[in-house]
Structure 1
Amino acid sequence: MFAKVSRFIGEVKGELRKANWPWESDPKIKGFKKYRELVDSTVVVLIATILLAGFVALWDIIHTNVIFFLTSLGSK
Structure 2
Amino acid sequence: MFSKVSRFVGEVKGELRKASWPWESDPKVKGFKKYKELTDSTVVVLIATVLLAGFVSLWDFLCTYVINFITSFGH
TM-score normalised to structure 1 length: 0.96
Query: How far, CA to CA, are the matches of 1:35 and 1:13 in structure 2?
Result: 22
Counterpart check, 1:15 vs 2:51: no
What is the correspondence of 1:37-76 to structure 2 with a 5 Å cutoff?
37-75=37-75
The CA deviation at 1:2 is 1.5
CA RMSD of aligned residues (A): 0.6
Match of 2:41, SS state, is helix
Percent identity for Structure 1 against Structure 2: 79
TM-score normalised to structure 2 length: 0.97
Give the letter for the 1:10 counterpart: G
Which stretches of structure 1, 4 residues or more, deviate above 6 A after TM superposition? Answer: none
Match of 2:38, SS state, is helix
In structure 1, the gaps of 5 or more residues are none
Give the letter for the 2:47 counterpart: I
